[in-house]
């Protein structure tokens, strides 16, 4: 019985060696017959690729960049006018922002972007950090404290006035996909089947953001996130002039949250 097993093992090993030799021989013969193509112009191919995205159809822009072309060019112009981004010798601002949006919108790695944009991983990482910093510097442009007067959206609409005359906006939380280390990923698992961060956002009645708090784990309760926003030094501010001074309970309503 043992001799039979040994014979079968020898035959199997020999067959494996023969298969490897045959595969190597075939690969070498095939490599000799590969067609020799002329070297391509990488800059021109990259330009053609980005042009198809930002100058093509509206559907292609939304699918690849997650925004319309007019919004994309408006964002690029704003970043350039603020001096936050500038064209380099080989990479334009539009291409820098397109790579950034492609990574965020599709959760792809540098290798995928490198194949599409024909750039090295180091170059992609460098420009991603540049755009990320530039976007962060725009927070003052798009996130401003709420006004202390009643919004015209309320005063000019009988459905809202006078019922909402002391309202300064609305706030809510949302769960956004988070990529974190495996050692702490359990804290970021909540109501979603994937890790998230619980983000609190406040907007006024013109749908302008007035406050955003990101970073809380997906397992954190909404009341805990709101309490943190109200208690931190640079947190959510409710201006007194935007509320009814005659009703102190109403001024505290933002902080009267269940434990």
Task: Indicate if 61 and 84 belong to the same structural domain.
Answer: yes
**Range from 2-11, 173-182, 197-206, 214-223 carrying the lowest mean pLDDT:** 2-11
* Residues 70-79 pLDDT 10s: 999 999 999 9
Average pLDDT over residues 138-167: 84
Confidence of residue 34 (pLDDT cuts 50, 70, 90): low
Task: Indicate if 85 and 65 belong to the same structural domain.
Answer: yes
Region of 182 (left: φ > 0; alpha: ψ -120 to 50; beta: rest) is alpha
Domain boundary among 140, 172, 199: 140
Q: Which span out of 89-103, 178-192, 229-243 was modeled with the highest average pLDDT?
A: 89-103
Domain boundary among 140, 169, 204: 140
Q: Is 26 inside a domain boundary?
A: no
Q: Is 73 inside a domain boundary?
A: yes
Average pLDDT over residues 109-120: 84
Task: Indicate if 118 and 162 belong to the same structural domain.
Answer: no
For residue 8, pLDDT beyond 80: no
217 — phi, psi (to 5°)? -65, 150
Confidence of residue 81 (pLDDT cuts 50, 70, 90): very high
The pLDDT of residue 253 is 40
Torsion sign (Cα): 187, 188, 192, 197: positive
Tokens in use for 127? 């420009």
Say which DSSP state 241 is in: G
Radius of gyration of the chain (CA): 29
Q: Is 31 inside a domain boundary?
A: no
Average pLDDT over residues 203-231: 90
In order of 146, 150, 156, 163, the CA distances from 159 in angstroms are 22, 14, 9, 8
The pTM of this model reads 0.69
**Average pLDDT along the chain:** 80
Distance separating alpha carbons of residues 178 and 171, to the nearest angstrom: 21
Beta bridge partners of 84: none
Average pLDDT over residues 226-244: 76
> Which residue segment(s) compose the domain that 186 sits in?
152-251
More confident: 35 or 116? 116
Task: Indicate if 51 and 122 belong to the same structural domain.
Answer: yes
Which percentage of the chain shows pLDDT scores above 90? 26
68 — phi, psi (to 5°)? -70, 160
For residue 259, pLDDT beyond 50: no
Tokens in use for 41? 């112009």
Q: Is 71 inside a domain boundary?
A: yes
Number of domains in the chain: 2
The pLDDT of residue 86 is 93
Distance separating alpha carbons of residues 72 and 93, to the nearest angstrom: 11
Q: Is 218 inside a domain boundary?
A: yes
Q: Which span out of 34-43, 46-55, 67-76 was modeled with the highest average pLDDT?
A: 67-76
The pLDDT of residue 248 is 46
Task: Indicate if 101 and 164 belong to the same structural domain.
Answer: no
Tokens in use for 108? 């792809």
The pLDDT of residue 257 is 37
Q: Is 113 inside a domain boundary?
A: yes
Q: Is 247 inside a domain boundary?
A: yes
Task: Indicate if 132 and 159 belong to the same structural domain.
Answer: no
Task: Indicate if 116 and 160 belong to the same structural domain.
Answer: no
Q: Is 4 inside a domain boundary?
A: no
For residue 254, pLDDT beyond 50: no
């Amino acid at each position: 019985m043992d001799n039979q097993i040994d014979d079968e093992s020898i035959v199997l090993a020999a067959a494996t060696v023969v298969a490897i030799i045959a595969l190597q021989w075939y690969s070498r013969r095939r490599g000799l017959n590969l067609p020799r193509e002329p070297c391509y112009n990488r800059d021109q191919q990259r330009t053609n690729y980005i042009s198809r995205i930002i100058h093509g159809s509206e559907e292609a822009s939304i699918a690849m960049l997650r925004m319309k072309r007019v919004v994309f060019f408006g964002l690029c112009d704003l970043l350039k006018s603020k001096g936050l981004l500038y064209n380099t010798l080989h990479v334009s601002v539009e291409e820098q922002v397109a790579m950034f949006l492609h990574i965020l919108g599709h959760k792809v790695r540098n290798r995928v972007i490198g194949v599409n944009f024909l750039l090295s991983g180091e170059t992609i990482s460098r420009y991603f950090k540049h755009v990320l910093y530039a976007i962060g510097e725009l927070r003052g442009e798009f996130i401003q404290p709420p006004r202390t007067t009643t919004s015209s959206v309320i005063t000019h609409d009988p459905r809202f006035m006078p019922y909402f005359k002391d309202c300064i906006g609305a706030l809510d939380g949302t769960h956004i996909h988070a990529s974190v280390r495996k050692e702490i990923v359990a804290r970021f698992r909540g109501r979603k089947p994937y890790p998230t961060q619980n983000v609190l956002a406040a907007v006024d009645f013109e749908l302008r953001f007035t406050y955003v708090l990101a970073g809380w784990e997906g397992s954190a309760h909404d009341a805990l996130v709101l309490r943190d926003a109200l208690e931190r030094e640079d947190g959510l501010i409710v201006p007194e002039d935007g509320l009814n001074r005659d009703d102190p309970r109403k001024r505290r309503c933002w902080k009267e949250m269940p434990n």
